């Protein structure tokens, strides 16, 4: 990355801290979050919305799926943002962290009865309805629990955002949402309006992730306006709220364009204002749900090099102590990254290498064909823009414990997720008697 900070020892500095020192203190693999950048990004969203949209007429909800812990939930609440959750686990994390349930939006395409019951019990601010089935189930539960939740309908506007097909969510053939043009979303509206237990407050859409063409949002607003018109003609209903989801792209490499949060928010605000005012409609309460663009560039992944394998005529593999178990994005989306040798950042020599993980998959790569300085066993490799959809997608593949996570700022660094131990991995195993469990201590592990 062009703007890398280096100290007098030629060590990488991130979040005001010497990365080598943090790796020594907390071990590797290590995820480091820059608290000041996280707060700045959250504020950029909040302030831009306040500056470009009428006061008290909108709110930013951080999409917890990008990266979430109780500390993160608190940080987001301190910055005045709400939370978008998609599971009972994310909901529980938010509630344990002390987030006001009213500040929570519950998204998700297949919420379980238990999840819906908990969300109704605690009184989350809004449910985002993703299917006709969900309306039936939520209506029934809400009736029995004597609740009347506010709901938004997730509309699939049929907009193609130019991003990876696995993160395109606004196209018609997609597991999320109800179609604006095939009658499904309208059927959902009819059904909610007929319910005495659900309160329809508006519409939601989310067209995809890692979006660089901001015009896609304008197209989505136009498509949503067409849908609103259709609904209004058919039912007389007019939405009080419009949620445009998240999706703003971030820089993984120098080839990615730098997207300014305030420019993107201004465009979304102006698109909504323009379309609604042109039609003489009252402006909706505007909701945005960014995830990646708040946490992505605020995260750094640090690994220890174990093996450097130079295959003549092929490539040089640098194998590190993490892999797809903490970052499956390369295997999933062929994502590109940039990295440096954190303990020797500046070097006149450059080579093309591929950083590989330690998992049993050939596709277990962390950065393919990147430029790196000379690297050897024992060095530390730091991968940039590691904050979004990495730790939150981490697994225990190959029974590899998940890394530690620290939140750092100029004053210091605090552990916010402990490194998993083998005991953590074993604690959910049950060994029925017939499998003759070994009881004695396993030496050395």
Ligand X SMILES: Cc1ncc(COP(=O)(O)O)c(C=O)c1O
Strand partners, 155: 178
Binding of residue 107 to ligand X (CB under 6 A): yes
CB within 8 A of 157, min separation 6: which ones?
170, 180, 205, 207, 220, 223, 224, 227
Least Cβ distance, residue 243 to ligand X (angstroms): 8
Stretch that binds ligand X, among 187-195, 241-249, 259-267, 367-375 (CB under 6 A): 241-249
Binding of residue 293 to ligand X (CB under 6 A): yes
**What is the torsion angle, in degrees rounded to the nearest 10, for the CA atoms of residue 223, residue 226, residue 227 and residue 232?**
160
Are the C-beta atoms of residues 185 and 153 closer than 8 Å to each other? yes
Residue from 58, 88, 239, 245 touching ligand X (CB under 6 A): that is 245
What 3-state class would DSSP assign to 120?
helix
DSSP codes joined into one string, 389-423: SSGGG---GGGPPPPEEEEEETTEEEEEEPPP-HH
Instruction: Kindly tell me which of 252 and 303 has the beta carbon lying closer to ligand X.
Output: 252
State how beta strands 199-204 and 241-243 pair. Answer: parallel
How many residues touch ligand X (CB under 6 A)? 17
What is the sign, positive or negative, of the torsion defined by CA atoms of 173, 334, 402, 39? negative
Are the C-beta atoms of residues 386 and 301 closer than 8 Å to each other? yes
Closest by CA position to 14, among listed 243, 355, 340: 340
What is the sign, positive or negative, of the torsion defined by CA atoms of 319, 323, 327, 330? positive
Residue from 206, 218, 344, 402 touching ligand X (CB under 6 A): that is 206
Out of 174, 205, 360, 436, pick the active-site residue. 360
Closest by CA position to 368, among listed 400, 393, 333: 333
Stretch that binds ligand X, among 185-193, 287-295, 310-318, 336-344 (CB under 6 A): 287-295
Least Cβ distance, residue 153 to ligand X (angstroms): 13
Binding of residue 367 to ligand X (CB under 6 A): no
Closest by CA position to 294, among listed 18, 13, 68, 127: 68
d(CA 47, CA 60): 10
Looking at residues 169 to 198 of the shown chain, list those that interact with ligand X (rule: CB under 6 A). Answer: 169
Residue from 157, 202, 239, 290 touching ligand X (CB under 6 A): that is 290
Least Cβ distance, residue 418 to ligand X (angstroms): 25
d(CA 322, CA 108): 29
Instruction: Kindly tell me which of 291 and 357 has the beta carbon lying closer to ligand X.
Output: 291
Q: What is the x/- site pattern for ligand X, positions 29-68, by CB under 6 A? A: ----------------------------------x-xx--
Binding of residue 149 to ligand X (CB under 6 A): no
Instruction: Kindly tell me which of 152 and 382 has the beta carbon lying closer to ligand X.
Output: 152
Q: Tokens 């620290």 sit at which residue?
A: 406
Binding of residue 390 to ligand X (CB under 6 A): no
Stretch that binds ligand X, among 28-36, 218-226, 266-274, 286-294 (CB under 6 A): 286-294
Least Cβ distance, residue 393 to ligand X (angstroms): 11
Q: Is 174 a catalytic residue?
A: no
What 3-state class would DSSP assign to 383?
strand
d(CA 284, CA 238): 10
Binding of residue 159 to ligand X (CB under 6 A): no
d(CA 163, CA 155): 19
Instruction: Kindly tell me which of 239 and 357 has the beta carbon lying closer to ligand X.
Output: 239
Instruction: Kindly tell me which of 357 and 387 has the beta carbon lying closer to ligand X.
Output: 387
Looking at residues 83 to 102 of the shown chain, list those that interact with ligand X (rule: CB under 6 A). Answer: 84
Instruction: Kindly tell me which of 281 and 285 has the beta carbon lying closer to ligand X.
Output: 285
Instruction: Kindly tell me which of 158 and 245 has the beta carbon lying closer to ligand X.
Output: 245
Binding of residue 158 to ligand X (CB under 6 A): no
Q: From residue 167, how far is each of 127, 158, 162, 246, 278 by CA, in Å?
A: 22, 14, 10, 11, 32
Binding of residue 247 to ligand X (CB under 6 A): yes
Which residues contribute to the site for ligand X (CB under 6 A)? 63, 65-66, 84, 107, 169, 206, 209, 245-248, 289-293
Instruction: Tell me the catalytic residues.
Output: 360
């Amino acid at each position: 990355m062009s703007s890398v900070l280096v100290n007098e020892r030629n060590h990488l500095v991130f979040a005001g801290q010497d990365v080598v020192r943090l790796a020594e203190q907390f071990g590797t693999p290590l995820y480091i979050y820059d608290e000041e950048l996280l707060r700045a990004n959250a504020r950029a969203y909040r302030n831009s919305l306040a500056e470009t949209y009428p006061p008290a007429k909108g709110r930013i909800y951080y999409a917890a799926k990008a990266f979430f812990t109780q500390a993160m939930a608190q940080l987001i609440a301190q910055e005045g943002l709400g939370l978008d959750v998609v599971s009972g686990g994310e909901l529980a994390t938010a509630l344990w962290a002390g987030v006001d349930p009213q500040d929570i939006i519950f998204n998700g395409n297949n919420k379980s009865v238990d999840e819906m019951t908990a969300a109704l019990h605690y009184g989350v601010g809004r449910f985002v309805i993703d299917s006709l089935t969900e309306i039936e189930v939520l209506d029934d539960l809400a009736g029995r629990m004597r609740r009347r939740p506010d709901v938004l309908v997730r509309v699939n506007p049929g907009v193609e955002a130019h991003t990876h097909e696995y993160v395109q969510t606004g196209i018609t053939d997609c597991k999320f949402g109800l179609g604006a043009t095939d009658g499904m979303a309208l059927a959902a509206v009819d059904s909610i309006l007929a319910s005495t237990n659900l309160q329809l407050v508006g519409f939601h859409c989310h067209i995809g992730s890692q979006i660089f063409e901001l015009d896609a949002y304008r197209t989505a607003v136009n498509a949503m306006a067409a849908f609103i018109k259709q609904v209004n003609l058919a039912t007389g209903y007019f939405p009080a709220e419009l949620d445009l989801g998240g999706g703003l792209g971030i820089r993984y490499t120098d080839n990615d364009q730098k997207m300014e949060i305030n420019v993107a928010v201004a465009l979304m605000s102006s698109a909504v204002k323009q379309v609604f005012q042109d039609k003489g409609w009252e402006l909706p309460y505007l909701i945005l749900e960014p995830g990646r663009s708040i946490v992505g560039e605020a995260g750094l992944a640090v690994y220890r090099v174990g093996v450097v394998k130079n295959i003549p005529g092929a490539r040089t593999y640098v194998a590190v102590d993490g892999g797809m178990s903490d970052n499956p994005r390369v295997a999933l989306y062929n994502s590109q990254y940039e990295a440096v040798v954190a303990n020797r950042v500046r070097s006149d020599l450059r080579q093309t290498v591929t950083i590989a993980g330690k998992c049993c998959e050939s596709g277990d790569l962390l950065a393919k064909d990147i430029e790196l300085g000379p690297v050897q066993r024992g060095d530390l490799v730091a991968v940039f823009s590691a904050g979004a959809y990495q730790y939150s997608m981490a697994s225990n593949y190959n029974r590899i414990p998940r890394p530690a996570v620290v939140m750092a700022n100029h004053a210091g660094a605090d552990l916010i997720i402990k490194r998993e131990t083998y005991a953590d991995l074993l604690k959910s195993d049950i060994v029925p008697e017939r499998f003759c469990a070994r009881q004695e201590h396993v030496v050395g592990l």
